[in-house]
Amino acid sequence: MSLPNCDYCGSSFKWTTIFRNIWGRYKPITCVNCESENHLKSRSRVLMAVIFTISMFILGFAFASFSFEIRLLLVVLGSIFISFFIPYLIKYEV
């Protein structure tokens, strides 16, 4: 598991850049080395949606005995925790 690289020059992207891109609008990431625009692959978008959806269901059912507010808080915190690992799973293309 490693961070995605630029398809054009092979330079690795920073974790913070990818993390901000995930919580943003999926804008293309510009490589600092060769200045090429790298777009998030559609397969990676689907992977992120599946991971977040499944994790919300699992966390929601795991904490079913709690009140709605606490369960919602735990699901949100769990999703944020899971999003810390997403930059290692997604791929970009030029």
Sheet holding 37-40, edge to edge: 29-30, 37-40, 92-93
Query: Which two three-digit tokens encode residue 77?
Result: 């915190």
| β partners of residue 40 | 92
pLDDT for 94 beyond 80: no
pLDDT in tens, 9-33: 888 899 988 888 888 777 888 888 8
pLDDT in tens, 32-86: 889 899 988 889 889 888 988 888 888 878 888 888 888 888 888 888 888 898 8
pTM of the model: 0.73
Contact status, residue 34 vs residue 11, Cβ threshold 8 Å: yes
Query: Residue 25: its pLDDT value, please?
Result: 75
C-alpha distances in Å from residue 13, one per residue of 7, 19, 27, 71: 11, 10, 14, 35
Examine the pLDDT at 8 and tell me if it is beyond 80.
yes
